[in-house]
Amino acid sequence: MSSRVSSIKIAERTARIEVSLRRLPPTMVIGGVILIVFLVIALTAQIWAPYPAAKTGTGRPFENPTSKHLFGTDQLGRDVFSRVMLGTRIVLTLSLSSTLLATILGGLLGLSSGLIGGWFDQLIMRLVDIMISIPFLVLALLIIAAAGPELSGGYLLIILAVAIVYTPRITRMARSVAIDLKTRDFVTVARARGESTLSIVWHELLPGATSVLLVEFGVRAGYAPIFIGSLGFLGFGVRPPTPEWGLMISENRSAIVSAPAALFSPGLALALLVVGLNLFTDGLARVLGRTVRPGT
């Protein structure tokens, strides 16, 4: 019985992979290319960036773009081009790790909550309701305020704040998948076999929830750079002189008259990254046969 079920599952999976390989949506290709460019920059900028990110006095303060400083310089004479390029790794790391953490936590919580049901499900869902009822930037600021000065400005706090804001939303999504799947035969069979809850979540529910979680990951990751940039812009992100784009925009605001490039180049990088992530997710959702819904 169990071998037949798993062979059907394998057949389904291979069929899906064939469909996805035959033709990729153009949005996925464009998004993918943008993301690859950002990935390459993130991985290699250390080697070819003209100046170190924190090196002051590479030129006069607030210089306009020249061949020496492609995006001009900031208030301390730091090279904005180098800072934007070197910042890519930080923005990508923070965005992806926080979203990944939230997807894993929310996926496991939601799937087990839907599967187990009863008081456990009730408890988790009420907690989710509470977290979702606080608008998410306010929730993030609450977490940052609660964390205290020892943690503030650190990568860990930002990753945690974004992950805590995202987790309940992903939990809710994963739970609805679990509730949908748990009445299926293969779950009943697994239960009859005496599999543990965790094993059912891992072996029976997760394969069915993968496409939902992947799209959810993409949607959340697409907003994460804006979220993290917003925290940086408000002054609650990473500590200066870290070249995080939101923080750079806030630092270079006084350059709006004399050297606007210093201000708008990190903004442009941020927008391009988000476009890439959103296009890729849109294509991914099409391949997986899901619709991307705007939501909370």
Cβ atoms of 115 and 205 within 8 Å: the answer is: yes
What 3-state DSSP class applies to 111? helix
Q: CB 208 → another protein: shortest distance, Å?
A: 26
- Among 58, 82, 250, 265, indicate the residue that binds another protein (CB under 8 A): 250
Give the residue with the Cβ less far from another protein, 58 or 113. Answer: 113
Question: How far is it, in rounded angstroms, from Cα 127 to Cα 201?
Answer: 21
The answer to whether residue 239 forms part of the interface with another protein (CB under 8 A) is no
What residues contact residue 135 under an 8 Å CB cut-off, 6+ apart? none
Instruction: Tell me the window of 47-55, 69-77, 173-181, 225-233 that interacts with another protein (CB under 8 A).
Output: 225-233
Instruction: Tell me the window of 93-101, 191-199, 206-214, 258-266 that interacts with another protein (CB under 8 A).
Output: 258-266
- Among 3, 67, 133, 196, indicate the residue that binds another protein (CB under 8 A): 133
Instruction: Tell me the window of 66-74, 85-93, 96-104, 140-148 that interacts with another protein (CB under 8 A).
Output: 140-148
Which two three-digit tokens encode residue 216?
A: 């959810």
Give the residue with the Cβ less far from another protein, 77 or 260. Answer: 260
Q: CB 89 → another protein: shortest distance, Å?
A: 19
Q: CB 120 → another protein: shortest distance, Å?
A: 17
Q: CB 220 → another protein: shortest distance, Å?
A: 13
Give the interface with another protein as residue ranges (CB under 8 A).
126, 129-138, 141-149, 226, 229-230, 233-236, 246, 249-250, 253, 256-257, 260, 263-264, 267, 270-272, 274-275, 278, 294-296
